[in-house]
Amino acid sequence: MLQGIGGSAGYGVGKVVMISNEVPVYEKKQVMDTESEMARFQKALDAFVENTTAMAEKMKREVGEQNAQILEGHVMMISDPFMQEEIHKRIEAGECAECAVDEVCTMFVDMFSQTEDELTRQRATDIGDIRVRILKLLLGLEDVNISDVPYGTILVAKDLTPSMTAGIVKENVAGILTQMGGKTSHSAILARALEIPAVLSVENLLQSVRSGMMVAIDGCEGYCVLEPDQETTIEYEKKREEYLASREELKVYAHKETVTGDGKRVELFGNIGKPQEAAKVLEFGGEGIGLFRTEFLFMDNTKLPTEEEQFLAYKEAASQIKGKPVIIRTLDVGGDKDIPYLGLEKEENPFLGYRAVRFCLKEENIYRIQLRALLRASAFSDIRIMVPLVTCTEELHRVKELVEELKGELEQEGISYKKDIQVGVMIETPAASEIADLLAKEADFFSIGTNDLTQYTMAVDRGNAKVAYLYSPYQPSVLRSIKRIIEEGNKAGITVGMCGEAAADPLLIPLLISFGLGEFSVSPTSVLQTRAAISKWTKEQADKVADKVMSMTTAKEVEMYLKEQSIS
């Protein structure tokens, strides 16, 4: 048995087909006719754009526009003026097109790979995909084609790239196994969109499997069984049937109210990273947006996004969600996310450095633009402003002062905005947890970011495999912190939500109900299963479980007990 990360839920049994997408070998040579070499590069680039656009159109038809944007993003990346300029400069200096493309793409891959942020690291995979495909076009090599794999295939690759995933005929693929990638990788996102079970980040996978080998995979728990016996094969086929049946049953929860087993109403929102994803939240029955990450506006740009660009993005999300609440997190960027035009210095410990609200309050000229855009967009929906990484009340005070100053500006200019717009805090540090009572007097709402709260509370780099065993929301210290935050928020009469991954964890649902969480914000695809899980617990049942859990001393003890108490 091999352990990995459950990237896409479900079960599958099938035969392995190994897929390779290594960087092709080419001859490094100097060129004299740079004009002809530039034309050769341009021809390959035009073919790349044409092929990728066709792939994106296919993705739109099969799994929706939102997922096609991953491939459309590849066209945007290679069309980036800075990247183009760097390639052109090298060709003009006498490098062959292959060498120029390889060097420039490698520079970006290295830059994005070094970040601690998983979403930013994903861009390294995207650039790597672009590099291989353009090199193949220059060399006249065939691209990877997995559209004709036989029925019952388990695809195995070092990392399944978006362009490879685009060719999948989902009826033929029983599962996906990769040696790299995480839950937020584009391969995981596309696997979930195609509803194909996937296990990612399996150590030594390529050394452990071979083409033609039978494999059973569990995308829920994140492991696979090599060469399963007949009994195991039957067991996995049964699990697959039961899983598909349970997915069908969840559809009864679409567009229902979110209520506990004894009828208490809570809010169930969705997390998004781009405005176009808002429609997906409604499609899955979400009641609003609990976390709109705004970093894409800055990271997908070669210059600072204007107030108008930001305003239109926020307005688009607001209009798609049709009057429901939209909680927008202000810029959460720092030394771990490299945005060249911001001039951020490399830091030894970026997660404890110059980032999020710290950066924004030092760079008020940038922050004012974002806050003005948010205020203007608030005229079109129930937009709420969320401030990340707050560690002291002074930071919240200053943000609120800026909001009031900008309201005055808009008033003078005759521009509409929501007069009573809410300004809340993302609670994701032990400091914020410790002063939750003080922040609750100043903030209009709380949203608990459990991913970072767990990381900071446990002093664990969640990207470091050696200490990953400590990174768990079941840790007693993390649970005590969550309980305290919710209690202080409720005591002050403000809404307390949760936008970290723990909000969608069915094992934690009874604890969150007992603690008094008022709003759950999860990925759009997790809305229905979260609503179903909430509906199964009464407050009395949840309190009994919570009382027992809060007396426990280890994360393992907590997790095992919660699994025993799980209501199917």
Per the CB < 8 A criterion, the answer to whether 422 and 496 are in contact is no
Q: Which residue type, as a one-letter code, is found at position 504?
A: A
549 in helix, strand or coil? helix
State the maximum Cα–Cα separation within the chain, in Å, rounded to a whole number: 80
Catalytic residue (choose from 96, 186, 224, 360): 186
Give the per-residue SS3 of 494-517: CEEEECCHHHHCCCCHHHHHHHCC
Q: What is the spatial distance between Cα 354 and Cα 342, in angstroms, rounded to a whole number?
A: 12
Helix axes 81-92, 34-63, angle to 10 degrees: 150
Q: Which structure tokens are listed for 21?
A: 């997408």
Residue 229 φ/ψ, nearest 5 degrees: -75, 175
Q: What is the spatial distance between Cα 552 and Cα 540, in angstroms, rounded to a whole number?
A: 19
In terms of Cα–Cα distance, which of 109, 100, 156, 145 is closest to 129? 109
426 in helix, strand or coil? strand
- Sheet strand arrangement including 223-226: 2-3, 223-226, 214-218, 11-19, 153-157, 173-178, 198-200, 5-8
Q: What is the spatial distance between Cα 230 and Cα 270, in angstroms, rounded to a whole number?
A: 41
Block residue for tokens 């048995």:
1
Q: What is the spatial distance between Cα 328 and Cα 161, in angstroms, rounded to a whole number?
A: 30
Alpha carbons within 13 A on the beta-carbon side of 385: 29
Q: Left if phi > 0, otherwise alpha if psi is -120 to 50, otherwise beta: which for 270?
A: beta
Alpha helices in 346-471 (DSSP H): 356-362, 364-377, 393-413, 430-434, 436-442, 450-458
Q: Which structure tokens are listed for 389?
A: 């990484």
Handedness of CA 406, 408, 409, 413 (dihedral sign): positive
Block residue for tokens 């929860």:
253
Q: Which structure tokens are listed for 194?
A: 């195609």
Helices (runs of H) and strands (runs of E) counted in the chain: 23, 16
Handedness of CA 363, 365, 366, 371 (dihedral sign): positive
Q: Which structure tokens are listed for 394?
A: 């002074």
Query: Catalytic residue at 224?
Result: no
Per the CB < 8 A criterion, the answer to whether 342 and 298 are in contact is yes
Query: Catalytic residue at 186?
Result: yes
Per the CB < 8 A criterion, the answer to whether 7 and 195 are in contact is no
Query: What Cα–Cα distance (Å) separates residue 353 from each residue in 9, 135, 334, 417?
Result: 36, 38, 8, 33
Strands 198-200 and 5-8 turn out to be: antiparallel
Per the CB < 8 A criterion, the answer to whether 449 and 426 are in contact is yes
DSSP code at position 179: S
Helix, strand, coil percent values for the chain (each to nearest 5): 55, 15, 30
Q: Catalytic positions, please?
A: 186, 499
